């Protein structure tokens, strides 16, 4: 296994109709991290871009399929680069955390998140890092599944650029300084 290379996966759905939705916050952070890089298509069915963080090689990844099926392409990418789950960081939306709040952890349940469920199944366990980007729960009777597939509100959009930048900084801190420091700095 390659103990220096990292894979950072931004969960989301393909296509322009989903690009600016809450469910795609993970891919928004990946796009921010890749600002000076170019994405290419990998045989794993992921779009990837290479960057370095603190001297370590990092593969930024976005599955070309739907979030609920992201486990197979991510596992194929990890197998190709010989990266085990201890060097996998997944950025995803989190309903049970208020908007604009970040929580970082390793392992744990999927909390009903089908993207995490798919990853955990394909990696035979949940022992990968998560950068959980809070999107909050819908007010009133709106179905959470519909809520995450809607764009951010006009008030949320005012804070979105900073939120995405902080998500990127959290990923960089996790790679450079480890879980404990990243949690101290970002788990607000």
Residues noted as catalytic: 23
- Measure the CA dihedral 172/47/102/134, to 10°: 170
| Distance between start and end Cα atoms, the chain | 33
Q: Which two tokens stand for residue 162?
A: 């900073």
Strands 56-63 and 6-10: parallel
By three-state DSSP, how is residue 54 classified?
coil
Going by their DSSP bridges, the two strands 40-42 and 46-53 should be labelled as: antiparallel
Give the angle 25-31-33 at the CA atoms, nearest 5°: 105
């Amino acid at each position: 296994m390659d103990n220096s290379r990292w894979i950072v996966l931004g969960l989301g759905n393909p296509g322009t109709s989903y690009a600016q939705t809450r469910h795609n916050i993970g891919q928004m952070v990946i796009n921010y991290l890749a600002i000076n890089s170019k994405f290419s298509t990998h045989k794993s069915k992921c779009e990837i871009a290479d960057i370095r963080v603190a001297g370590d090689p990092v593969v930024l990844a976005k599955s070309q399929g739907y979030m609920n099926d992201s486990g197979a392409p991510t596992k194929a990418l990890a197998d190709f680069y010989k990266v085990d789950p201890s060097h996998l960081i997944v950025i995803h939306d989190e309903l049970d955390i208020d908007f604009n709040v970040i929580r970082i952890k390793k392992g744990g349940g999927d909390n009903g998140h089908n993207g995490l469920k798919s990853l955990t199944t394909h990696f035979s366990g949940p022992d990968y890092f998560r950068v959980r980007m809070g999107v909050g729960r819908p007010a009133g009777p709106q179905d959470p599944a519909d809520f995450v597939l809607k764009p951010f509100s006009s008030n949320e959009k005012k804070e979105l650029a900073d939120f995405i930048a902080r998500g990127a900084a959290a990923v960089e801190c996790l790679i450079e300084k480890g879980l404990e420091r990243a949690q101290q700095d970002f788990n607000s």
